[in-house]
Amino acid sequence: MAKVADKPFFPKPFLVFFVLSIIFGFGITLSEAGFPKIRHYKWEVEYMFWSPDCVENIVMGINGQFPGPTIRANAGDMVVVELTNKLHTEGVVIHWHGILQRGTPWADGTASISQCAINPGETFTYRFVVDKAGTYFYHGHLGMQRSAGLYGSLIVDPQEGTSEPFHYDEEINLLLSDWWHQSVHKQEVGLSSKPMRWIGEPQSILINGRGQFDCSIAAKYKNGLKQCELSGKEQCAPFILHVHPKKTYRIRIASTTALASLNFAIGNHKLLVVEADGNYVQPFSTSDIDIYSGESYSVLITTDQNPSENYWVSIGVRARLPKTPPGLTVLNYLPNSVSKLPISPPPETPDWEDFDRSKNFTFRIFAAMGSPKPPVRYNRRLFLLNTQNRINGFMKWAINNVSLALPPTPYLAAMKFRLSTAFNQNPPPETFPIDYDINNPPRNPETATGNGVYKFNMGETVDVILQNANMLNANTSEIHPWHLHGHDFWVLGYGEGKFSAAEDGRKLNLKNPPLRNTVVIFPYGWTAIRFVADNPGVWAFHCHIEPHLHMGMGVIFAEGVHKVGMIPPNAMACGSTAMIKNYPRKP
């Protein structure tokens, strides 16, 4: 019962546009523009036995599938997902990563922020318009349910009758993730324990939910691992990329890892990067891409190599000392047999600590010509210091010395109904002490939890300078991929050390900064982003590394909440919002 129906759908803006186009003769016919449709899905979430890396475990599945079903729609369509929670004791929500949720902030799928978690047995209907073509995905956003396997792809094609600004013959969609054998429940307890028990490195890298533990399909080139099967395993056989020679393929690559920063390469094939996070970029050619959790890319490849051979697809770990073998699969030139393994070893993943190489890739990403440009001035600039801290011996991450602890009442309804006791009404600090030494462990590592909100005026232009720093141990600083809900942002620049408004502020790229929804901060560095706070709602901005968010690495943004329309009552049946009187409710 995955897909229920595709119905024609006429959103108000479309109808206005349609009528205007008739009056003014825009020259757009119905068959060209296509009708926006309703893409209707009925989903049930439940744990099920599954062997993502050939080792049986329980995963969170949707309609018996892992990863969940792929949503496919055209820009302008309305996606409707009736989500029923079939778990026995756990709530659930689903976040539509990269979808802006304009006019539907309650459908953003963030527990404690946009809605109450859906209780066991209950159904919540997500209804939102996908307004921009691109490569997206969805995932759980309660506790560590993303780590438990609650994710899937969301692909938006251009409006019917329009086309992408680049040519390709066919496409292949890859959703990358990392997988642990320890249950997420134990992982959570470990992270919340004193002393903290770290989850360690993943056992396997999954490509479309498929990996291989303790073996390799390229074993003959590797030492230590045994050869694994290319086929025959229903759940963990590798996802093969079947291609025809002499064609151009768009490969969509999204990463929903809990932890791992990945590097993607295809033996003998150059990758032409054309899209990042649902935004077109200035095409550039590269041998491999780095992809951090929360990011997505489209690359074009041309199958112009020796057609009698197959080629490796290799996905390895970067930015952390890898203990996980690369995820491997085969680019299969048809009609070759898949079992004809490539004649040379898989591409080597670049050295994990070669951050210069990582930066070299990242700094090549610019907006495609004709992309929206950022406002030239900001109204407000936040400086957000990322630090590892402790609270009474518990390990935490904090932003400007506040470790985010989400409240039981969702912010969106709490703010709309002015429930002033639902969260701390004082906003958190907008900057950090000027003399903070980012190159050494925090002098006073003790911090505190908080749940205050950064409130923006509707329409103001906000800069955020994400400032990395040393961790608790000397000489350590990690990458963090920061993801913003409800907005794309322009990435104005990156730099080493502490951001200097005088020096660095002048060098920001206002010409062709890429639009993204996720951006990385490098060790000991800063990243500057800009966005317009013009989407009424409450929006998480957080590190996309699941255990980091679990330990408090996030902040809450809000703007124009008074303009937010009718929040569905069952999005607010928890915490203090459950007590709201005189709010129209259906019996």
Which residues pair with residue 557 across a beta bridge?
454, 539
Distance CA 82, CA 60 (A): 17
Residue 55 sits in the site that holds a second copy (CB under 8 A): no
Position 341, amino acid: L
CA–CA distances in Å: residue 169 to residues 243, 248, 579: 10, 5, 55
Distance CA 374, CA 406 (A): 31
Give the CB-side neighbour count of residue 113, counting CA atoms within 13 A: 30
Minimum gap (Å) between residue 124 Cβ and a second copy? 11
Residue 181 sits in the site that holds a second copy (CB under 8 A): no
User: Within 143-162, which residues bind a second copy (CB under 8 A)?
Assistant: 143-145
Distance CA 540, CA 139 (A): 14
Residue 196 sits in the site that holds a second copy (CB under 8 A): no
CA–CA distances in Å: residue 529 to residues 365, 382, 462, 486: 14, 10, 8, 15
Residues 6+ apart with CB under 8 A from 14: 36, 76
Residue whose tokens read 């009609």: 335
Within 10 Å of residue 208's Cβ, how many Cβ atoms?
19
Residue 581 touches which member of Cu ion, a second copy, none, C-beta under 5-8 Å by kind = a second copy
Letters for 273-312 (x = contact with a second copy by CB under 8 A, - = none) are ----------------------------------------
Among 165, 190, 283, 342, binds a second copy (CB under 8 A): 190
Residue 476 touches which member of a second copy, Cu ion, none, C-beta under 5-8 Å by kind = none
Within 10 Å of residue 171's Cβ, how many Cβ atoms?
16
Whether residue 498 contacts residue 465, with contact meaning beta carbons closer than 8 Å, is answered with no
Residue 49 sits in the site that holds a second copy (CB under 8 A): yes
Whether residue 381 contacts residue 375, with contact meaning beta carbons closer than 8 Å, is answered with no
Residue 324 or 409: the one with the smaller Cβ distance to a second copy is: 409
Residue 391 or 543: the one with the smaller Cβ distance to Cu ion is: 543
Query: 541 φ, ψ to 5°?
Result: -135, 115
Residue 185 sits in the site that holds a second copy (CB under 8 A): yes
Whether residue 481 contacts residue 545, with contact meaning beta carbons closer than 8 Å, is answered with yes
Residue 142 sits in the site that holds a second copy (CB under 8 A): yes
Among 45, 545, 555, 571, binds Cu ion (CB under 5 A): 545
Residue 392 or 582: the one with the smaller Cβ distance to a second copy is: 582
User: Within 108-137, which residues bind a second copy (CB under 8 A)?
Assistant: 112, 116-117, 119-122
Residue 144 sits in the site that holds Cu ion (CB under 5 A): no
Distance of CA 257 to the CA centre of its chain: 9
Minimum gap (Å) between residue 45 Cβ and a second copy? 12
Residue 480 sits in the site that holds Cu ion (CB under 5 A): yes
Which residues pair with residue 262 across a beta bridge?
291, 317
Minimum gap (Å) between residue 193 Cβ and a second copy? 6
Residue 416 or 480: the one with the smaller Cβ distance to Cu ion is: 480
Minimum gap (Å) between residue 220 Cβ and a second copy? 36
Distance of CA 444 to the CA centre of its chain: 32
Select from 341-349, 463-471, 532-540, 575-583 the region that touches a second copy (CB under 8 A). Answer: 575-583
Residue 545 touches which member of Cu ion, a second copy, none, C-beta under 5-8 Å by kind = Cu ion
Among 258, 543, 556, 564, binds Cu ion (CB under 5 A): 543
- How many residues in the shown chain lie near a second copy by CB under 8 A? 49
User: Within 401-420, which residues bind a second copy (CB under 8 A)?
Assistant: 406-408, 419
Within 10 Å of residue 433's Cβ, how many Cβ atoms?
10
Mapping DSSP onto H, E and C, the string for 155-214 reads EEECCCCCCCCCCCCEEEEEEEEEECCCCHHHHHHHHCCCCCCCCCCCCEEEECCECCCC
Residue 543 touches which member of Cu ion, a second copy, none, C-beta under 5-8 Å by kind = Cu ion
Residue 234 sits in the site that holds a second copy (CB under 8 A): no
**Which residues contact Cu ion (rule: CB under 5 A)?**
480, 543, 545, 548
**Which residues contact a second copy (rule: CB under 8 A)?**
46-49, 58, 88-91, 112, 116-117, 119-122, 142-145, 183, 185-186, 188-190, 192-193, 197, 406-408, 419, 550, 569-570, 573-576, 578-582, 584-587
